[in-house]
Amino acid sequence: MRLHVLGTAAGGGLPQWNCACPGCAGARAHPERRRRHASLAVRAGPGRWYVVNATPDLGEQIEACTELHPGPGIRHTPVAGVILTDAELDHTLGIARLREAAELDIWSTVTVSAALRGQLRLDAVLTAYTSVRWRPLTRRPQDLDGAGPEGVPDLRVTAIPVSAKRPRYARQDDATAAGAATDAGQDWVVALRLDEPATGAAVLYAPAVGVWSEELRSAAETADCVILDGTFWDDQEPVRSGISKRTATEMGHLPVTGPTGTAERLARLEARCFYTHLNNTNPLNDPHAQEHRVLAEIGLRTATDGMVIDL
């Protein structure tokens, strides 16, 4: 299995256009610190890749990854489709940038597709440009492509609910009026378990985690690689930095450290573990921050844009 980390920043990217926090200021002064919105490309087979979350940076992310470049045909693309972990704007606005595709497969939970098609009217907009197939992403393992040369599926995906957080545009009153699901529970945000049956390789990708459930724990313990929500270093970071009156957990993100943190959980795993989806206030955006040493001491790392992971 091969993975390309296309981006590692939370909403707004790094730097965020209207932010002068130390993280954004540092990225403006040191361009090598810049981060694009969190996204991942996973190879499903020869010349076929799925993009996990279509961010506003999608065009630039594809250009930065040669294995996603078009060819040899004038309009041939190795991008086979998009898999969504949620309905947030920073994970879905890039779908519109794929409108030139001859056809487009979008995998998401029924809850997420209802929000994108109902509240954002994305289906109606895209229909004028291309043929879109909305594929239901479920809690059962599903084969994304057909079988490979040996009759074994190339790539399998399983959705693991991790949060009931709705995007702002799909708040309960609006969702009810538009006919979207209102009892979807935690299917608003899912982690993805990606399996390659031919090799047995498994990845857990979870850029937003609000609850460390038994299902998530089990998936992490049996994965070869875990790429997890690192939005905030500690629970008080949003309040301390002045960007919110809510804590990290109240915003739907388990922090890296502290009583509700994930670092100690990851440190117990045998898998290769990385943090992604860093908010611009997170000290991990500074490559010289002592927080990196804290993680390194327990065998953890922060993912970087452009990183290639082979399993």
Report pLDDT for 151. 64
Compute the average pLDDT of residues 75-95.
Answer: 97
Report pLDDT for 171. 79
In b/e form, how buried is each residue of 140-163, taking b as 16+ CB within 10 angstroms? Answer: eebebbeebeeeebbbbbbbbbbb
CATH of residue 41 = 3.60.15.10
Report pLDDT for 152. 75
Residues contacting residue 297 through CB under 8 Å, at least 6 positions apart: none
Q: How many domains does the chain have?
A: 1
Domain range holding 14? Answer: 2-310
Q: What percentage of the chain exceeds 90 in pLDDT?
A: 91
The yes-or-no verdict on residue 175 having pLDDT over 80 is no
Compute the average pLDDT of residues 43-58.
Answer: 96
Q: What percentage of the chain exceeds 70 in pLDDT?
A: 93
Compute the average pLDDT of residues 214-238.
Answer: 98
pLDDT band at 49 (very low <50, low <70, confident <90, very high): very high
Instruction: List, in sequence order, every beta strand (DSSP E) within 186-276.
Output: 189-196, 201-206, 225-229, 272-276
pLDDT band at 189 (very low <50, low <70, confident <90, very high): very high
Compute the average pLDDT of residues 291-301.
Answer: 98
The kind and range of the H/E element at 2 are strand 2-7
Whole-number Å distance between alpha carbons of 245 and 256 = 19
**How would you classify the pairing of strands 308-310 and 2-7?**
antiparallel
Report pLDDT for 80. 95
Residues contacting residue 211 through CB under 8 Å, at least 6 positions apart: 162, 163, 186, 254
Report pLDDT for 185. 55
Report pLDDT for 147. 55
Report pLDDT for 286. 97
For the chain, give the mean pLDDT: 93
Report pLDDT for 177. 36
The kind and range of the H/E element at 143 are strand 142-143
